[in-house]
């Protein structure tokens, strides 16, 4: 099993603790950043990790932000990604057994290294049970297919090239772009 791991600026220390744990179990991984505590936009890291999984190079992903919530929301925008945010081992184990979750998200401001390691261990060790759970995941897949915009590839790089690369640039040089423009009057409030 090969793991793609990533975090935003809040998750550097927790990511390092989890990398040490993965090393101790001789589980191969690649770190997709971020690598410094400079403020970073978590969706960019989620996108890198999810693309790495969907391209077939990695089996599963681990994403860390302050709460794990933003990472899980971003990751679940990708068809075929089943991301869960967990702060205790039971949900992480069941997320494998029943939901075949392929991305584990955790909050660095929620769980400390010891608990996060147990959560990760439970998630890594548990196996998907298939059967009725596969039927339910198939329903989710069909929902994804029914609600995907035709002709829009999730692996299309062109839109991402138009975006600023990190949060500090957003602050220093505000530019109109897909991330900062309100999607509707309500979303700009």
**29 sits in which H/E element:** strand 29-31
Number of residues that bind ligand RB5 (CB under 6 A): 8
- State yes or no: is 133 an active-site residue: no
> Is residue 33 near ligand RB5 by the rule CB under 6 A?
no
Cis peptide leading into residue 106 (ω within 30°): no
Phi and psi angles of residue 12, each rounded to the nearest 5 degrees, phi first: -60, -50
Q: CA–CA distance from 57 to each of 10, 47, 51, 61, 115 (Å)?
A: 26, 14, 9, 11, 28
Distance CA 107, CA 116 (A): 9
> Is residue 102 near ligand RB5 by the rule CB under 6 A?
no
Judged by CB under 6 A, the chain residues 43 through 62 that form the site for ligand RB5 are none
CB of 171 to ligand RB5, least distance (A): 13
In the chain, how long is the greatest CA-to-CA distance?
52
Question: Judged by CB, which is closer to ligand RB5: 37, or 156?
Answer: 37
Is 172 in a helix, a strand, or coil? helix
Ranked by CB distance to ligand RB5, the top (closest) residue is 70
Residue 80: exposure state from Cβ atoms within 10 A (0-12, 13-18, ≥19) = exposed
Q: Catalytic one among 7, 9, 50, 65?
A: 65
> Is residue 103 near ligand RB5 by the rule CB under 6 A?
no
The interface region with ligand RB5, picked from 13-21, 22-30, 64-72, 128-136 by CB under 6 A, is 64-72
> Is residue 10 near ligand RB5 by the rule CB under 6 A?
yes
Judged by CB under 6 A, the chain residues 67 through 96 that form the site for ligand RB5 are 67, 69-70
CA 13 to chain centre: 17
- State yes or no: is 98 an active-site residue: yes
* Binding interface with ligand RB5 (CB under 6 A): 8, 10, 42, 65-67, 69-70
Which residues carry out catalysis? 65, 98
């Amino acid at each position: 099993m090969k793991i793609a791991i990533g975090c935003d600026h809040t998750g550097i220390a927790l990511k390092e603790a989890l990398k040490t744990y993965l090393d101790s179990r001789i589980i191969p991984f690649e770190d997709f950043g971020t690598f410094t505590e400079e403020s970073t936009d978590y969706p960019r890291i989620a996108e890198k990790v999810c693309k790495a999984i969907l391209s077939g190079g990695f089996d599963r992903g681990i994403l860390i932000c302050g709460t794990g919530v933003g990472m899980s929301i971003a990751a679940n925008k990708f068809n075929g990604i089943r991301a869960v945010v967990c702060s205790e081992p039971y949900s992480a184990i069941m997320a494998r057994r029943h939901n075949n979750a392929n991305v584990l998200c955790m909050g660095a401001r929620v769980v400390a290294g010891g608990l996060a390691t147990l959560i990760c261990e439970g998630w890594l060790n548990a196996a998907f049970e298939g059967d009725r759970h596969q039927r339910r995941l198939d329903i989710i897949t069909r929902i994804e297919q029914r609600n995907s915009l035709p002709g829009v590839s999730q692996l299309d790089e062109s839109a991402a090239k138009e975006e600023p690369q990190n949060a500090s640039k957003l602050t220093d040089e505000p530019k109109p772009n897909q991330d900062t423009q309100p999607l509707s009057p309500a979303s700009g409030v």
